[in-house]
């Protein structure tokens, strides 16, 4: 299962971006998708995730500013990022896990997309 992350870029503080994570390949279902980020010199951290039931969770640092959503028909998950701050600058990665065939799971990572928040 391949994940294609896109939507990063350079934005001024207070601005918005929407990241997309599109899944392709052969699979039965996607159980959960998460967005992670890794700032330079720091460990990768979970930003937000959504499971197959639509339950979402967010890191405290992004609550109220970021929204994760999924379009099951398009096998795509979005991360809407508003009120961006310089500390949101990082490479953002999506991760998905689910079932390829009964009894065989998958866990895939996208290639990362750079988000830079700077004036």
Question: Long-range CB contacts (< 8 A, 24+ apart) of 62-71?
Answer: 62/88, 68/33, 68/35, 70/33
pLDDT of residue 43: 97
pLDDT at 103 over 90: no
User: Greatest CA separation found in the chain?
Assistant: 49
Averaged pLDDT for residues 93-107: 93
pLDDT above 70: percentage of residues in the chain: 100
Residue 12 CA to residue 69 CA, distance in Å, equals 23
Residue 42 or 101, more confident: 42
pLDDT at 102 over 90: no
Pairing of strands 17-24, 76-81: antiparallel
Averaged pLDDT for residues 87-115: 95
Question: Long-range CB contacts (< 8 A, 24+ apart) of 55-64?
Answer: 61/87, 62/88
pLDDT of residue 82: 98
- Residues 51-88: tens digit of each pLDDT: 999 999 999 999 999 999 999 899 999 999 999 999 99
């Amino acid at each position: 299962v391949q994940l294609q992350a896109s939507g990063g870029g350079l934005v001024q503080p207070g601005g918005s971006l929407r990241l997309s994570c599109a899944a392709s390949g052969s699979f039965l279902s996607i159980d959960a998708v998460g967005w992670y980020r890794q700032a330079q010199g720091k460990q990768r951290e979970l930003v937000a995730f959504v499971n197959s039931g639509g339950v979402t969770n967010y890191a405290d640092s992004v609550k109220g500013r970021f929204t994760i959503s999924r379009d099951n028909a398009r096998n795509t998950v979005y991360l809407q990022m508003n009120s961006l701050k310089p500390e949101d600058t990082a490479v953002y990665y999506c991760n998905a896990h689910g079932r390829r065939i009964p009894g065989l799971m998958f866990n895939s990572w996208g290639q990362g997309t750079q988000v830079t928040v700077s004036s």
